[in-house]
Amino acid sequence: MDLFEKIEKKQMFDLVKEKGIYPYFHELESGQDTVVNMEGKETIMIGSNNYLGFTSEPKVIEAGVEALKKYGTGCSGSRFLNGTLDIHIKLEQELAEFLHKEACMTFSTGFQSNLGIISAVAGRNDVVLCDKENHASIYDAIKLSYARMIRFEHSDMNDLEEKLKQVPSTCGILIVTDGVFSMSGEICKLPDIVRLAKKYGARVMVDDAHGLGVLGEHGRGTAEHFGLEDDVDIIMGTFSKSLASLGGYMAASKRVVEYVKHTSRPYIFSASITPASIACARESLRLLKENPQRVKDLQDISNYMRQGLKKLGVKIIDSTTPIIPIYVYDDEKAFVACKLLLDRGVYVNPVVSPATPVGYALLRTSYTATHTKEQMDKAMVAIKEVLDILDVK
């Protein structure tokens, strides 16, 4: 059998392209902002993770430029060997302090962060309890770790406890959950997870990629939101969302950080984050610390959009985060809706099977602290119009 036989067969993306409703890889001709130039057209962006609006902040851009001038374009090596800059260390110290943890380490991407953390702390004799709706990087990380994965039903604490009861006392246990689930915008049930972890002797890791800058009075994320910063063993996050850059991090005890630094293959064998990316993340973090009002602005504009959609009769998955998914149910309708919205100057993301169960396709919309009410009014009217055209109830 030819290895490429499966590749030559017609795929879903081929069929969608033939119908003229392919929704992926649209070209941006401007920086990421509340309004972008997408393929020659001014477009309201409600499909990015630029939660605090820092990607277009002049101070963040200038910080990246200055780092590029001082340190050059890259580090030409791994953190383990020649690729550690003083600004790597400074960012890690600043993040640890901000997140109320003893130490922090950074990875080159958010996806790599989960790979590097979980594969280091969990081994063949360990068990990882994984929420069924966790990010794909968590699933891949568990495979890389060789630990046994046990999935529990999404945010079902009764199921989690039943699964915990089945774990032999000889196994180490790690419970991993998204803080904010990226597709639904739901917040995990962290108080219950912490309670069960203590009861069964498990450790807790929170993927806070969509929590940092979004939840908590100061934007420290899910643990701050629930007042459980001392009860979460490992906090993972990314720079590609609220911190307007590229990379990821782990905040934990000094001992856990030192262990992962010396045992994590994805960390040891990857080039370190580029100087400009580090500088942009540092400046974004500084701005967040100095201006927590951005977090409130994000909540306010998200609530404005949420209430506006409800008044128009649009069915959404309700939450308190800036992620507002809208049901369209049918995969093809999701693709068509994205095209019709783009034609009207509004960009959203399609979420179709297998990312959702068959028959539960979504339009994932997400918001930025610097969006205006005028932009939201235009976007919600366009969404309602398109859903009516497609007869989505």
Among the listed residues 135, 163, 210, 333, the single catalytic one is 210
Task: Say whether 69 is catalytic.
Answer: no
Is 9 noted as a catalytic residue in this protein? no
Cis upstream peptide for 354 (omega within 30°): yes
Which residues are CB-contacts of 121 (< 8 A; sequence separation ≥ 6)?
A: 145, 174, 203, 234, 256, 259, 260
Mark whether 218 is an active-site residue.
no
Strand locations in the chain (E): 35-38, 41-45, 103-107, 126-131, 148-152, 172-178, 203-207, 234-238, 248-252, 323-329, 346-347, 349-351, 361-366
Catalytic residue among 88, 135, 163, 241: 241
Which residue of the set 113, 145, 182, 366 is catalytic? 182
Q: 3-state DSSP call for residue 70?
A: helix
Distance CA 208, CA 201 (A): 22
Of the candidates 79, 122, 124, which has an alpha carbon nearest to the alpha carbon of residue 104? 79
If you compute the radius of gyration of the chain from its CA atoms, what whole number of angstroms results? Answer: 21
Please list the active-site residues: 182, 210, 241
